[in-house]
Amino acid sequence: MPERVRPTVVGWDFESLVRQHQAMVYSIAWHILRDRAVAEELAQDVFLSLHQHLGELESPEHVQFWLRRVASNRALDVVRRRQRRPMVSLENAPEPVAAVKPGDPMLGTALQKLVAALPEKARAIVVLRYQEDLDPAEIARILGIPVGTVKSQLQRALGLLRQKLARSLGEISI
Partner 1 sequence: MNLDDELRSALQRQEPPPEFAERVLARVAAVPVRMPRPWFRLPVMRWAAAMAATVMLLAGGLEYRHYEGERAKAQVLLAVRIAANKLNKVQRKVQMISHRSNS
Amino acid type, 155: Q
- Select the residue interacting with partner 1 from 56, 77, 83, 172 (CB under 8 A): 172
**Which contiguous run of DSSP H or E holds residue 157?**
helix 147-169
- Select the residue interacting with partner 1 from 81, 84, 91, 173 (CB under 8 A): 173
155 contributes a contact to partner 1 by CB under 8 A = no
23 contributes a contact to partner 1 by CB under 8 A = yes
Residue 168's nearest CA partner among 88, 101, 116 is 101
Assess contact for 109 and 128: CB atoms under 8 A.
no
Nearer to partner 1, 85 or 105 (CB): 105
- Select the residue interacting with partner 1 from 33, 118, 125, 165 (CB under 8 A): 165
Distance of closest approach, residue 87 Cβ to partner 1, in angstroms: 21
80 contributes a contact to partner 1 by CB under 8 A = no
- Interacting span for partner 1 (CB under 8 A) from 3-11, 64-72, 81-89, 139-147: 3-11
Residue 79's nearest CA partner among 133, 30, 22 is 30
Q: How many CB atoms lie within 10 A of CB 159?
A: 10
64 contributes a contact to partner 1 by CB under 8 A = no
DSSP 99-151: ---TT-HHHHHHHHHHHHTS-HHHHHHHHHHHTS---HHHHHHHHTS-HHHHH
47 contributes a contact to partner 1 by CB under 8 A = yes
Amino acid type, 149: T
Which residues contact partner 1 (rule: CB under 8 A)? 1-5, 14-15, 18-19, 22-24, 26-27, 30-31, 36, 39-40, 43-44, 47-48, 51, 102, 107-109, 111-112, 115, 126-127, 129-131, 133, 158, 161-162, 165, 169, 172-174
